[in-house]
């Protein structure tokens, strides 16, 4: 991918913005909302089957108690995660990723790697299109692997030595995190250093119990401060001419 080709695509800005904002985004908003709401209803499938076929319905107090506990533990994430990942996922990616799950370990890395491979700039309409394509691809792969896996591979997995089973569960995801962080850090090394320092400091504060003054388990404080802290510092650095997008820098 040559620089000139890239510039050319950016130069035709107005027309492509129109297609994106006036055709693509309204379509995605319309169908994203419908499909996600439909999924809310259909996700009740197993619970309804337990009731309708087997006549099993837990007492209302147990359901309320369980859902309240889940809401206390994860309720912050319902709002913080979509907001925090939105800049990377884009509009269609947000509908798709929160419907299909496995966001940090699967959807975000796929979207990010595809943006790098297709050489589009994060946050632009082009990047949003590429994210959509990559996340769709990841959904097909993930559904197939888990479908085949849950029928055929589970026994093969259980035959694996424990070391390798643990390794897949424990070490693949950190490697993905390191790789994606490095990919973005390449373009903005100083922002990467700052973001990493903030997140590590916040995580250590959390683990050592210094955030205990906050309500519930304050993991939400770590993610809010990491994401928005890094964003605001990056904005400040940009305003003071300390960083610029990679294509402008061109050292």
Partner 1 sequence: MMWPELVPLVPAYMDIANSRWLWLSTVPVVLVVLLQATIFLRRAWNDGKEMGLSEQKLKTGFKTGIISAIGPSIAVLAGMLALIATVGGPVAWMRLTVIGSVAFELPAAELGVSQFGYSLGDEGITETAYATAVWAMTLGGTGWLLVSAFGTRHMETVRTKISNGNETLIPIISAAAMLGAFAYFLSGEITAGTPETGSVAVGGLAMLGLLHLADSRDVQWLREWALGAAMLVGLLAGVALRVTVGSWW
Stretch 94-153 residues interacting with partner 1 (CB under 8 A): 94-106, 108-127, 129-143, 145-147, 149-150, 153
Question: Cβ distance 229 to 197 under 8 Å?
Answer: no
204 versus 215: smaller Cβ distance to partner 1: 204
DSSP, res 222: H
CB of 211 to partner 1, least distance (A): 13
CB of 53 to partner 1, least distance (A): 5
DSSP, res 214: S
Q: Does 14 bind partner 1 (CB under 8 A)?
A: no
Residues near 108 by beta carbon (within 8 Å), at least 6 away in sequence: 85, 88, 89, 97, 180
Q: Nearest CA to 230 among 173, 185, 182?
A: 185
Question: Cβ distance 101 to 137 under 8 Å?
Answer: no
Question: Cβ distance 89 to 114 under 8 Å?
Answer: no
CB of 245 to partner 1, least distance (A): 5
Distance CA 183, CA 189 (A): 10
CB of 59 to partner 1, least distance (A): 8
67 versus 215: smaller Cβ distance to partner 1: 67
Q: Does 211 bind partner 1 (CB under 8 A)?
A: no
**What residues numbered 19-58 form the site for partner 1, per CB under 8 A?**
19-20, 23-24, 27-29, 31-33, 35-40, 42-51, 53-54, 56-58
Q: Nearest CA to 180 among 170, 195, 198, 166?
A: 195
Distance CA 86, CA 93 (A): 8
**What residues numbered 64-93 form the site for partner 1, per CB under 8 A?**
65-67, 69-71, 73-75, 77-79, 81-88, 91-92
**What residues numbered 180-199 form the site for partner 1, per CB under 8 A?**
180-188, 191-192, 195-196, 198-199
């Amino acid at each position: 991918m040559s620089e000139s080709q890239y510039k050319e695509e950016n130069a035709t800005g107005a027309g492509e913005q129109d297609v994106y904002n006036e055709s693509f985004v309204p379509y995605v908003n319309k169908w994203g909302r419908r499909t996600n709401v439909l999924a809310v209803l259909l996700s009740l499938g197993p619970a309804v089957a337990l009731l309708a076929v087997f006549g099993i319905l837990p007492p209302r107090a147990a359901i309320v108690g369980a859902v309240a506990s889940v809401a206390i533990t994860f309720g912050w994430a319902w709002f913080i995660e979509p907001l925090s990942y939105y800049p990377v996922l884009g509009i269609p990616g947000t509908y798709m990723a929160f419907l299909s799950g496995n966001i940090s370990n699967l959807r975000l890395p796929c979207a990010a790697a595809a943006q790098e491979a297709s050489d589009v700039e994060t946050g632009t309409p082009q990047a949003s299109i590429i994210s959509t394509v990559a996340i769709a691809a990841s959904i097909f792969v993930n559904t197939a692997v888990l479908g085949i896996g849950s029928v055929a591979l589970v026994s093969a997995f259980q035959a694996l030595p424990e070391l390798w089973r643990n390794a897949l569960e424990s070490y693949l995801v950190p490697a993905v995190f390191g790789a994606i962080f490095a990919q973005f850090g390449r373009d903005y090394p100083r922002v990467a250093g700052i973001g990493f320092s903030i997140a590590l400091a916040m995580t250590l504060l959390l683990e050592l119990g210094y955030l205990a003054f906050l309500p519930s388990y304050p993991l939400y404080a770590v993610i809010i401060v990491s994401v928005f802290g890094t964003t605001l510092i990056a904005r400040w650095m940009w305003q003071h001419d300390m960083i610029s997008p990679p294509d402008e820098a061109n050292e």
